[in-house]
Structure 1
Amino acid sequence: MNQVTVRELLNHFPLELAAGREGLDRLITTSDISRPGLEMAGFFTYYPAERIQLLGRTEITFFNSLPRGERIDRMEKLCTIDTPCIILSRGMDVPEELRTAAEESGVPVLKSTLKTTRLSGMLTNYLEARLAPMTSVHGVLVDVYGIGVLLTGASGVGKSETALELVKRGHRLVADDSVEIRQTGENELVGNAPELIRHLLEIRGLGIIDVMTLFGAGAVRNYKKISMIIHLELWDPKKMYDRLGLDEERVKLVDTLLPKLVIPVRPGRNLAVIVEVAAMNFRLKQMGVNAAQQFSERLNSAIEDNQDHKEFQ
């Protein structure tokens, strides 16, 4: 899991540091945002101190109505060793009691001019993406007809060459050699290339090529949702390969099951076309059209009709 610091939030969003500069390297471990309304009223029994504390107009208005002694007590309890930071929305002034408690405890206090709800949504979306479970896979990720196809297989089997042919045919490269995969939602995986090798493709005998420079910005994507896996392997004459497509294999990546196809590789097979057809067939299945299932039903119907005809005779 990635780590996010308060300093990264300060650099990424339109935020202003108001107090607690010493705590800018505090780690944020959850994407949940807390609006401490009950805490402002003095109820700290279930205070989620590990979350970002977001103070809006409601919380600050109530806080300002309290006697000074209670205001000091509330802010001292709000600023704990586990609190990553406190953010005020709508450009509101930082109460002096909060500023003092934050400086003493080293909790950063940030300000934003955005409305509370919008700021909360932006922070949550950013943190969910950054803190999502992640793994790295050796393979190639391409966008084929809007379907994220992850090509896997042994080194030298032809993954990068297939990706190059797909790019020439108008599809888009996302990542070559190493694919970083994040679980961004339930049953949703998003892949991207590491920053160092983004938009690059390695072809044996040719070397490293820059796909965006050669083919244009329309030939690459920075990230893509992964919908299926195509595993390339050298043709094994002793192995029985699926010829109908009725049995769908699934593999688990992070916490998501993805459909997997095994494509044998041998001279004369146009892998780029096969990958294109696999992506289009996947889309048809998503729309409820399963050619293999329809063929099986027609075959069973023909067998039953033949049996009925023999019984009639």
Structure 2
Amino acid sequence: MTSATRPLVLSMGEPAGIGPELTLMAWQRRHVRNLPAFAVLGDPQLLFDRSRRLGLDVPIGEIARLADAPAAFDAALPVLPLSASIAVAPGRPDPRAAPLVIEAIARAVDLCLAGDAAALVTNPIAKSHLYQAGFRHPGHTEFLEALSVERGRPARAVMMLAGRGLRTVPLTIHMPLKHVPGSITQSLILDQARIVARDLAAYFHIGHPRLAVSGLNPHAGEDGAMGTEERDIIAPALAILRAEGLDVVGPLPADTMFHEEARATYDVALCMYHDQALIPVKLLDFHEGVNCTLGLPFIRTSPDHGTAFSLAGTGRANPSSLIASIEMAAAMATAGASPGAGPAVAS
């Protein structure tokens, strides 16, 4: 199958969260949004029960192979069952489900690496409950990178958030803020900027991406008066990137990077830490923001929100971010990128 005909695969995410109902709602809107065929790695009974609870009337079609998804997709939500089933009430996470959450992600990665799936779309997980099942990764993104490496595929995961009119990349992700300054290195900036530039060209048809890089400190350090990281680390790294031919500006004061006129001057903003990158995307496009992981040997997108236990089972969850994630994954899969390309690395 080509990337245009291979189905997408969705991992079920935390079964007590909103992931199951978002998946059901996305399937319901398959014709309205012209969504490509997808299958979910999950529990068929749980999805059936959630559909009935919410009155969604979504038929569940259990399939044996991902290749069966396109034929089944129009009449039912295709589901690849996991190795076990467990009854989980919406809004009430059960640690016993953690191994199944991990299994769904790992199997989805294997389907992508085998070329059976065009891309992976992950539903949100609750990491605190996974730790009890041996999960040892700071987040979803880091787990996907580790799975790729374990399977002999080079990877350097880079998180990119994409919303209406803005893409941002947090150079550091899931770490306490006090650890950020010591984690900002020239090699980190070089590696991630190269991956971002390469994958924007490969997956988003941006031939010569324009990268804007924030500073770490207020006013981008004010020439060393408010911090020296910009002068000693960030600016020298950007000089190397420019010498390589990348279109890079910065370091820029973060408080003036995200207004409308500034956003028009770049294709992606590289930011120094998690909230610096995520706040502007969620402010501009809270309901349809997408988390896209670059630098993996497969395409991965995800809704830009969490498990929302308080909304699970109420019917009030908004599927827009999951639908946008499916649409972006499909667009990336048909963009002509070479499947399985390894990440760019610093020389």
Under a length normalisation based on structure 2, what TM-score does the superposition of the two structures give? Answer: 0.22
Higher strand share: 1
- Asked which structure has the greater RCO (Cα within 8 Å, sep 6+), the reply is 2
Larger Rg: 1
Under a length normalisation based on structure 1, what TM-score does the superposition of the two structures give? Answer: 0.24
